[in-house]
Structure 1
Amino acid sequence: RFPRARSLANYWGLTPGCRNSGESNQRLGRITKAGSNTARWLLAQVAYQALRKDRLLREWYKRIKRRRGSGVARGAVMRKLATT
């Protein structure tokens, strides 16, 4: 059903929104939240458990959390899990 892993993340609404007019600087916004709320909630629960178990994923999460905040980092983990 999905040709690429990114397509699944897009279907669930985990990709950043983009409202550009023209070809100039690409400015990405918040995640689109276009998909199912339940699917995103379940993926968030899986992300919490994965962060508890996987040391490398937890370190990656902490680096993003320091730089961008916990909500953005949690969304990044959810998208990473959806695309793997």
Structure 2
Amino acid sequence: MPRVVVDVMPKPEILDPQGKAVLGALPRLGFSGVSDVRQGKRFELEVEGEVTDEVVAQVEKMAGTLLSNPVIENYVVRVEQDA
């Protein structure tokens, strides 16, 4: 079944306290070499039938109205084949 994925991330100018908390925890757990962490969300939508331009446009509308807050978040919609 085809899958459409929406990745949502805070805009670069928005503070990301969860990402900062992860960044601070990594060295305490023995991990090094990470200079920044941003935490986002991933939505996987399995769709019936073929993924057409209309289906992608519908998911774009979902992403802009429900799955993200466009004031503080950016999103990317992509299609995964045979997930």
TM-score exceeds 0.5: no
In proportion to residue count, which structure has more helix? 1
- The answer to which structure, 1 or 2, has the higher relative contact order (CA under 8 A, 6+ apart) is 2
TM-score normalized with structure 1 length: 0.29
TM-score normalized with structure 2 length: 0.30
Larger Rg: 2
